[in-house]
Amino acid sequence: MPSESDLQRAVARRRTFAIISHPDAGKTTLTEKLLMYGGAIQLAGAVKARRASRHATSDWMEVEKQRGISVTSSVMQFEYEGHTVNLLDTPGHEDFSEDTYRVLTAVDAAVMVIDAAKGVEAQTIKLLEVCRLRNTPIITFVNKFDREVRGPLEILEEIEETLRIDCAPVTWPIGMGKTFRGVFSLHDDRLLRFRAGQERAEADGELIEGIENPRLDELFPDEIETLREEVELLRGASAPFDPELFLAGKQSPVFFGSGINNFGVRDVLEALLTWAPEPQAREASERLVEPAEAPFSGFVFKIQANMDPKHRDRIAFFRICSGRYQPGKRVQHLRLGREIRLGNALTFMANERVTSEEAVAGDIIGIHNHGQLQIGDTLTDGEALSFRGIPHFAPELFLSVRPKDPFRAKQLQKGLKELGEEGAIQVLILGGGRTVLGAVGQLQFDIVRHRLAEEYGVDAVYESVALHTARWLKFPNPAMAEDFARQEASSLGRDGVGNPVFMATNRYNLELAEERWPEVRFVATREHGELMAD
Ligand code: G4P
């Protein structure tokens, strides 16, 4: 029987993170290089295949194609220098979906990739906001220095201003594009020389120790003076890396490099191992759960349908928060109040040669799901716990839906119920029984339309509705809830689990209602499991 301290050691070895970026900044490339360090792939085949299909980003068929691959590539686990690293994929398409947000609730750190030519882009801003909800520590990689890009200081300023996070440069680039010479590590006082085209992980560049090293004068007579000045300036003026601020999500260590040339990537990986936190304690509504506690616990953060539409089984992605998973484990499903057996849960090894027979806090397992698991569900050894912080966002896009053939209404309801549970879409019922789909990104509609037809055989009519936004309602007492229901009946709906929702036809409509009902809370983000009614 493994002891508690074995468990502690196993947990301490884990690092669980996601890469966040705007499309095209270089997330796939970085993923690929990181996996190479882990020996998980030899050359870039697997990940490149995904990149090939990346271009048609908003096209549903492409998403469909990716779906098959992404079940296995949603989580990639690899070993590096005695650590077990779990890299969680965030969906790559431009259209933003709630899925991405939820993946970020399951990580302990994130690597943010910035395209040095484009700077901070829209999707990065959104993703960082989500990381901020949980103060997730962020490591920044400024990519593409082999190209003509913006100056490093300008980029740092933009990150600090736009993303409101302090930057602590750890490495500093010398030149860019054709004159990119390498990066100087302010931390280790040494220069890593750039050579293009380092396809393989082991081919690291030459290291030159010390900023005053005469070899630098020899190699870079034109650049060395500027570099020395910049290094002096940075050492004097920029904030040094502070592990505490980093762990609190307030400061980000910044690395420069070129993913495609495998340059600067190892620095990021080393930072993940040495600075990023091991699996952290998780807050449940009842108490804080420590990762090395022996009793098992964790939560479902994502549900993904399988490719084969005939087999409607789905994979529930489950983050372990404490204890140990072993095949065949029996756990308590708290929402359903019954025991289930995790017979053949999947562990996700990017390297197929390694098989993992057990998983601990920080690891992700995939549970075959025939509808019994929903996003946010907690499984434990028996203790009543409910993990917090899995967000649902008020939808901003709406479509009403009804079956073309009224005799298919049942199938439509079933499909919507399941897709709603999966988190693919939000299903809202308005007064009068009208069903409205709510989404955060347009692509969610395309996916639902396609899946309702393919998987549930429902031909439906979708119509635009004059809705601007929705807000969950929190009432101070049941009497006010009743009052509100009477007076605002035409704007009142219910979400998939029965929470009251205010449906606003425009912004003023919402503002007016907020003024009229100062004691009612109009909520834009709710946590999973949080019931709004008193
Ligand atoms: P993403 O997953 O964030 O969407 O980005 P991805 O890694 O797919 O990279 C987007 C594009 O940027 C790719 O070019 C990739 O080769 C290129 N890229 C990534 N890192 C670097 C870098 O360090 N330097 C340069 N110069 N380019 C980089 P593509 O032309 O769209 O695809 P491909 O033809 O290279 O496959």
pLDDT at 496: 84
Q: Is 499 in the pocket of ligand 1 (CB under 6 A)?
A: no
CA distances, 197 to each of 38, 149, 203, 257 (Å)? 19, 18, 10, 13
Phi, psi values for residue 438, rounded to 5°: -120, 135
Strand, coil or helix: what is 498? coil
Average pLDDT, the chain: 86
For the residues 34-45, what does the mean pLDDT come to?
A: 66
Domain(s) labelled CATH 3.40.50.300 in the chain stretch across: 19-62+111-275, 282-380
Lowest-confidence segment of 51-55, 185-189, 452-456, 484-488 by average pLDDT: 51-55
Q: Is 115 in the pocket of ligand 1 (CB under 6 A)?
A: no
CA dist 4 and 292 (Å) reads 7
CA distances, 217 to each of 211, 222, 481, 533 (Å)? 10, 8, 75, 70
Q: Predicted confidence band at 309 (pLDDT cuts at 50, 70, 90)?
A: low
Contact 506, 440 (CB under 8 A): no
More confident of the two residues 368 and 477: 477
Residue 47 pLDDT greater than 60, yes or no? no
Q: Predicted confidence band at 299 (pLDDT cuts at 50, 70, 90)?
A: very high
pLDDT at 93: 58
Q: Closest Cα partner for 488 from 502, 506, 507, 472?
A: 502
**Ligand 1: residue whose CA is nearest its atom 35:** 260
Per CATH, which fold does 19-62+111-275 belong to?
Rossmann fold (3.40.50)
pLDDT at 357: 66
DSSP conformation letters of 416-459: HHHHHHHTSSEEEEETTS-EEEEESSHHHHHHHHHHHHHHH---
Q: Predicted confidence band at 294 (pLDDT cuts at 50, 70, 90)?
A: very high
Q: Is 34 in the pocket of ligand 1 (CB under 6 A)?
A: no
| CA terminus-to-terminus distance, the chain | 45
CA dist 423 and 304 (Å) reads 9
Question: Model confidence over 333-361: pLDDT tens digits?
Answer: 998 999 999 877 877 665 554 445 679 99
Q: Is 27 in the pocket of ligand 1 (CB under 6 A)?
A: yes
pLDDT at 270: 95
Q: Predicted confidence band at 239 (pLDDT cuts at 50, 70, 90)?
A: confident
Structure tokens belonging to residue 475: 């009432």
pLDDT at 388: 81
Closest ligand 1 atom to Cα of 51: 8
Q: Which residue has the tokens 């100087």?
A: 184
Contact 357, 400 (CB under 8 A): no
For the residues 125-141, what does the mean pLDDT come to?
A: 90
pLDDT at 353: 42
Q: Predicted confidence band at 64 (pLDDT cuts at 50, 70, 90)?
A: low
CA dist 441 and 96 (Å) reads 5
Q: Predicted confidence band at 200 (pLDDT cuts at 50, 70, 90)?
A: low
Strand partners, 333: 338, 379
Say if residue 477 is exposed, middle or buried (CB neighbours under 10 Å; 0-12, 13-18, 19+).
Answer: exposed
pLDDT at 197: 65
pLDDT at 46: 46
What letter represents residue 232's amino acid? E
Question: Model confidence over 75-116: pLDDT tens digits?
Answer: 888 889 999 999 998 765 555 567 778 899 999 999 999 999
For the residues 423-431, what does the mean pLDDT come to?
A: 90
Residue 319 pLDDT greater than 90, yes or no? yes
Q: How far is the CA of 264 from the centre of ligand 1 (A)?
A: 15
For the residues 417-439, what does the mean pLDDT come to?
A: 89
Closest ligand 1 atom to Cα of 32: 7
Helix (H) or strand (E) holding 99, with range, is: helix 98-104
Residue 313 pLDDT greater than 90, yes or no? no
For the residues 133-148, what does the mean pLDDT come to?
A: 95
Specify whether the backbone of 189 is left (phi greater than 0), alpha (psi in -120 to 50) or beta: left
Positive or negative: CA dihedral 346, 347, 350, 354: negative
Which of 20, 51, 256, 263 for a ligand 1 pocket mutation test, highest count of atoms within 8 Å of Cβ? Answer: 51
Does 282-380 carry CATH code 3.90.1580.10?
A: no
pLDDT at 58: 38
Q: Is 25 in the pocket of ligand 1 (CB under 6 A)?
A: yes
Residue 389 pLDDT greater than 80, yes or no? no
Lowest-confidence segment of 49-53, 183-187, 438-442, 492-496 by average pLDDT: 49-53
Q: Which residue has the tokens 């100056």?
A: 151
Q: How far is the CA of 51 from the centre of ligand 1 (A)?
A: 9
Count of Cβ atoms closer than 10 Å to residue 431 Cβ: 14
More confident of the two residues 531 and 82: 82
Q: How far is the CA of 394 from the centre of ligand 1 (A)?
A: 33
Q: How far is the CA of 472 from the centre of ligand 1 (A)?
A: 40
Strand partners, 22: none
Q: Predicted confidence band at 139 (pLDDT cuts at 50, 70, 90)?
A: very high
DSSP conformation letters of 103-154: HHTT-SEEEEEEETTTBS-HHHHHHHHHHHHTT--EEEEEE-TTSS---HHH
Closest ligand 1 atom to Cα of 261: 23
Q: Is 143 in the pocket of ligand 1 (CB under 6 A)?
A: yes
Q: Is 146 in the pocket of ligand 1 (CB under 6 A)?
A: yes
By DSSP bridging, strand 138-143 and strand 359-360 are unpaired
Structure tokens belonging to residue 121: 């882009």
Which of 21, 28, 29, 115 for a ligand 1 pocket mutation test, highest count of atoms within 8 Å of Cβ? Answer: 29
Q: Is 23 in the pocket of ligand 1 (CB under 6 A)?
A: yes
pLDDT at 533: 45
Lowest-confidence segment of 20-24, 195-199, 261-265, 504-508 by average pLDDT: 195-199
Structure tokens belonging to residue 263: 């340059």
CA dist 196 and 263 (Å) reads 8
For the residues 64-76, what does the mean pLDDT come to?
A: 58
CA dist 40 and 440 (Å) reads 35
Q: Is 91 in the pocket of ligand 1 (CB under 6 A)?
A: no
Q: Is 28 in the pocket of ligand 1 (CB under 6 A)?
A: yes
Q: Is 124 in the pocket of ligand 1 (CB under 6 A)?
A: no
Domain(s) labelled CATH 3.30.70.3280 in the chain stretch across: 391-527
Question: Model confidence over 493-522: pLDDT tens digits?
Answer: 999 888 999 999 999 999 999 999 999 999
Using H for helix, E for strand and C for coil, what is the string for 15-69?
EEEEEEECCCCCHHHHHHHHHHHCCCCCCCHHHHHHHHCCCCCCCHHHHHHHHHH
Contact 152, 169 (CB under 8 A): yes
For the residues 244-272, what does the mean pLDDT come to?
A: 95
For the residues 364-393, what does the mean pLDDT come to?
A: 87
pLDDT at 213: 93
Strand partners, 322: 297
Closest ligand 1 atom to Cα of 31: 7
Closest ligand 1 atom to Cα of 55: 31
Q: How far is the CA of 110 from the centre of ligand 1 (A)?
A: 20
Q: What is the CATH architecture assignment of 391-527?
A: 2-Layer Sandwich (3.30)
**Ligand 1: residue whose CA is nearest its atom 22:** 144
Cα dihedral 354→358→362→365 (10° resolution): 80
Positive or negative: CA dihedral 217, 223, 227, 228: positive
Listed in sequence order, the residues at least 6 apart from 81 whose beta carbon sits closer than 8 Å to its beta carbon are 273
Closest ligand 1 atom to Cα of 48: 36
CA dist 424 and 447 (Å) reads 8
Residue 154 pLDDT greater than 80, yes or no? yes
Q: How far is the CA of 164 from the centre of ligand 1 (A)?
A: 27
Q: Is 121 in the pocket of ligand 1 (CB under 6 A)?
A: no
Q: Is 66 in the pocket of ligand 1 (CB under 6 A)?
A: no
For the residues 121-149, what does the mean pLDDT come to?
A: 91
